[in-house]
Structure 1
Amino acid sequence: MEHSPEHSQHAPGPSSALTLTNLPSSSSSSSSSSRVHEEGENNGQRNDENLHHQEQEHEQQRSGVSYHLNISISNVARIHIRDDVWSCLVVLVTFWFFASMTLILGYYGSVTLELGPNGSRLIQTNPFFVQSIKVKELIKQKPGLMLYGFHGPPPSDVEISWTETHDAFVPANLHKEWLFFLNKGSKVNISYAMSSTSSSPLSLVIAQGTQSLVDWIEDPSYPNLTLSWNIIYGRGKIQQEIPKSSNYYIAVRNLNSEEVEIQLNFSFNALIYDTTQAHCRCSLGNRLCTFELYLLGENAAVLSSPGPNEETSNSNWYVKVSYGPRWITYFVGSGVMTILILLAFRICKIFQSIDGIGFHAGGMQSERAPLLPEKDDEISSWGSSYDSVSHDEEDLEEWLAKTFPEGKPSNEGDSNNTRCLCVVCFEAPRDCFFLPCGHCATCFTCGTRIAEDAGSCPICRRKMKKVRMIFTV
């Protein structure tokens, strides 16, 4: 007994606890009650920590699912916008290419002109698309053609007169023609004298342009196809004033079965352009003439032919007129059109972003809320990217009641799993949603099959465009 105090003084903590067992019962009961109280407090603190930790993990899981789906949806939208931009750019470039080729080869393509004596033809074009006018004589055997360049269209107030006489033998059912280029306001006097031995009438016309002459040749009895239509016999005179600057054909046709001889006298009082103020002149005798156009300001060119003489009395001039394209206009136009279409897509994207921000701000709380009711089992971890499922549960239950009137499906174990299982197979969880309605009612396999077969949502019957997989974290 004397060693007990010494032992209790030098012994470690456990042996002191042993000495407590030799104390009276009152001290023993008080010690045990204090230990029980301390253990209860420790257990309570551990339970609180576990609950707080579980809540944090649950919140992280919710936020992780929402964050993952937001990234996937934004990526899909960005890919669609990029595809639309490239598609529009390809269509724009193709359209502009064909439009440019149509202007260069079609509207501003090269043409062949035929000029008669004392011809004075004005050539005007758009300087924004044409940089130069090139004129070349095709048959280089009759000199005298001239090209004049002006800063603006010159006046056609110069009067010139000349006379031509033609003795013609017109075969049966054929015709003879003479071409002249006459400006507006010119006058033509035609005198004719048929051979005294001929008793058959002829048809004499003044036709404006090649098409009018062709129409008259096909139907010579119809008078409205030409500017002037006459049946001539014996001697006479015809007068005609020119209403428009163009090529005019004076033609005689024999509608009889025998050849007819006729003498024609053409007297012209024509108006031609004043070429004294031209800033450039070029003779087409032995070379190609080029007239450069100014981008800003008016430009005009006049192509003139000499008067009739003994060498050229029965001949016309054939020239080729071509236009040099102003390439800078086509390149700048392509760039401007590309910039405009990109700006349009940029503005549309900005408006879409603004609408998306408003949508996310209004539905932030609903996105972070659990998308399916919490369950005690593992199914509580499944989710959806659209909160429209919770609003359409009543429609889904009505659809299930119509589909299975006897009650529960055969593959369903309990009623709590109905809202989490695929409404088609009742085996796999709902891990997909439909676009654009956003309903989540089937598994990805069944949803894909529905989209391929029917193509409509089983809840709202809207047309399905795509089926998206839901990923859980």
Structure 2
Amino acid sequence: MPEHRSTAAAPSAAADGGATWNLRHGSAAAVRDDTCSCFAVVFSFWLFVSMTMMLGVYGSMTIVLGPKSSIVYQPNPFFVQSVKVENLEEKPGPGPILYGTYKYPPLDVVSTWGETNNVSLPSGSHKEWKYYLNKGSAINISYHVSSRSSSVFVIIAQGTDSLTRWLEDPTEPNTTLSWNVVHGTGMITQEISWSSSYYVALGNLDEDVEVALNLSVRALMHNTTNAYYKCALTNNQCSLNIFFPEGSAAVLNASNEWHVKLSYGPRWVTYVFGIGGLTLLVFWAFNILNKLQCAHEGREGFRSEGTEPQRAPLLSQKDDDLSSWGSSYDSLSQDEEDLDFLPGGPIDGKFLGDGETSNNTKRLCAICFDAPRDCFFLPCGHCVACFACGSRIAEAAGTCPVCRRNMKKVRKIFTV
């Protein structure tokens, strides 16, 4: 019987160890899967942000330069390494000029220019002109409508969005910077309070009409006297390097109308180290949090596994089966050898009386070594303690100290 119990306990311990190893192995695999997923998601996110910066915020664009235009581009030096401007037209005359300055140049150069446009407007049509004007500039529009019975719209719109809203509803006055319904002869004056592209447009909802427009513009241009870089875009392209980390400004001046393409050269060091560094940072933080969570779960599991096996019976628990409830004396005779490991046990099935003494300690209670063994446990039938100690064992542990089976009752043995 002792050999049988030891053999049964060993597979149980091995099974518990295998279950613990499988649990930890599964947790480690789950952590690896979560970490790889986190790395892929974070890397994809920062790659998307970088592509948005390079192709969206600092993507190439086509610019229409009007007469006496002066535009400043001051990109972030952490993301942009160079500014490249390419001329898209081949025509005589002085072309645009790209300047490079250490800081934002002042708007203190005044230039006046004008032009005249004679337009024939059919019914339901419009005509527009685009100019780039800096803050502080002013525009005067003198008009003459050929038919006194006809009226036309004369508007000044800031940007493409404002012009589009006006084209959708020409009779709405709040969509543009300046909105006028004119006929005959007159003049319109508008001060510019923000550097941007502006449209001067005519609209006709009546019969066909001819309109003469005379534009007079007082433009403010950027001062490029202290420029450290100058390149004319007559038939080639110009590239300006942006200082890091101070930055610099690119000034594009044009005396006539030109179409140019502007593009930015990315600072690859920022994108490479930015994507890699931020990805590793988030990856490291996620990995640390994952390990802390797994360690916490492991401690909780260790506590539960450390306490339960001590109370688990070595034999399968079938105590509820009434067929296992045999005689206490039968069980006592069958498990006599199992009691040898305890300090005391029954001898020849007899117990000492209360007043008797003996040097044979096997007849005394294995718990207190004071009183004789005068009780047995149900359903196993083991007799190893006095009735007082047996009652305390039943109330505290609830399992037999010999076979670890659940105790149903404690019966007292009366000597006659």
- 8 Å CA contact 1:62, 1:369 repeated in 2: no
Does 2:156 correspond to 1:206? yes
Structure 2 counterparts to residues 451-462 of structure 1, below 5 A = none
- 8 Å CA contact 2:95, 2:258 repeated in 1: no
Deviations 1:348-373 (A, max 9, x none): 244235425643664464254253x3
Query: 1:341 — aligned with what?
Result: 282
- 8 Å CA contact 1:156, 1:272 repeated in 2: yes
Report the residue type matching 2:233 in the other structure.
L
Report the residue type matching 1:345 in the other structure.
F
Query: 1:103 — aligned with what?
Result: 53
Q: 1:277 aligns with which of 226, 248, 260?
A: 226
Query: 2:101 — aligned with what?
Result: 150
Task: Give the structure with the higher percent strand.
Answer: 2
Report the residue type matching 1:323 in the other structure.
Y
3-state secondary structure, aligned to 2:181: strand
Q: 1:324 aligns with which of 256, 262, 265?
A: 265
Structure 2 counterparts to residues 73-222 of structure 1, below 5 A = 73-142=23-92, 143-195=94-146, 198-222=148-172
Deviations 1:222-263 (A, max 9, x none): 111111111112221111101211111111222222232x32
Deviations 1:369-406 (A, max 9, x none): 253x343xxx57x9xxxxxxxxxx9xxx9xxxxxxxxx
Deviations 1:311-337 (A, max 9, x none): xxxxx3111111112222221122112
- 8 Å CA contact 2:35, 2:287 repeated in 1: no
Counterpart-to-counterpart distance in 2, 1:191 and 1:214: 24
- 8 Å CA contact 1:62, 1:368 repeated in 2: no
Report the residue type matching 1:160 in the other structure.
S
3-state secondary structure, aligned to 1:157: strand
Between stretches 98-107 and 76-85, larger displacement belongs to 98-107
Between stretches 235-244 and 168-177, larger displacement belongs to 168-177
Structure 2 counterparts to residues 174-323 of structure 1, below 5 A = 174-195=125-146, 198-260=148-210, 262-306=211-255, 316-323=257-264
3-state secondary structure, aligned to 1:80: helix
Counterpart-to-counterpart distance in 1, 2:222 and 2:43: 43
Counterpart-to-counterpart distance in 1, 2:193 and 2:171: 23
- 8 Å CA contact 1:66, 1:367 repeated in 2: no
- CA apart distance, 1:413: 9.5
Report the residue type matching 1:191 in the other structure.
S
- CA apart distance, 1:162: 1.9
Counterpart-to-counterpart distance in 2, 1:374 and 1:132: 78
Counterpart-to-counterpart distance in 2, 1:178 and 1:55: 101
Task: Give the structure with the higher percent helix.
Answer: 1
- 8 Å CA contact 1:185, 1:243 repeated in 2: yes
3-state secondary structure, aligned to 1:304: strand
- CA apart distance, 1:161: 1.5
- 8 Å CA contact 1:132, 1:325 repeated in 2: yes
- CA apart distance, 1:177: 2.0
Structure-2-length-normalised TM-score: 0.71
Between stretches 155-164 and 271-280, larger displacement belongs to 155-164
Deviations 1:246-287 (A, max 9, x none): 111111222222232x32221211111111111101111111
Counterpart-to-counterpart distance in 2, 1:271 and 1:136: 24
Counterpart-to-counterpart distance in 1, 2:248 and 2:323: 90
Counterpart-to-counterpart distance in 1, 2:323 and 2:170: 96
Report the residue type matching 1:132 in the other structure.
S
Q: 1:299 to 1:367 in 2, by over 3 A?
A: farther
3-state secondary structure, aligned to 2:208: coil
Report the residue type matching 1:264 in the other structure.
L
- 8 Å CA contact 2:143, 2:185 repeated in 1: yes
RMSD of equivalent CA atoms? 2.7
Q: 1:413 to 1:152 in 2, by over 3 A?
A: farther
Structure-1-length-normalised TM-score: 0.63
Report the residue type matching 1:145 in the other structure.
P
- 8 Å CA contact 1:183, 1:244 repeated in 2: yes
Structure 2 residues not aligned, in runs of 5+:
326-416
Query: 1:65 — aligned with what?
Result: 15
- CA apart distance, 1:207: 1.1
Q: Number of aligned pairs?
A: 324
- CA apart distance, 1:174: 1.9
Counterpart-to-counterpart distance in 1, 2:19 and 2:104: 69
Structure 1 residues not aligned, in runs of 5+:
1-49, 308-315, 383-392, 398-411, 417-473
Query: 2:348 — aligned with what?
Result: none
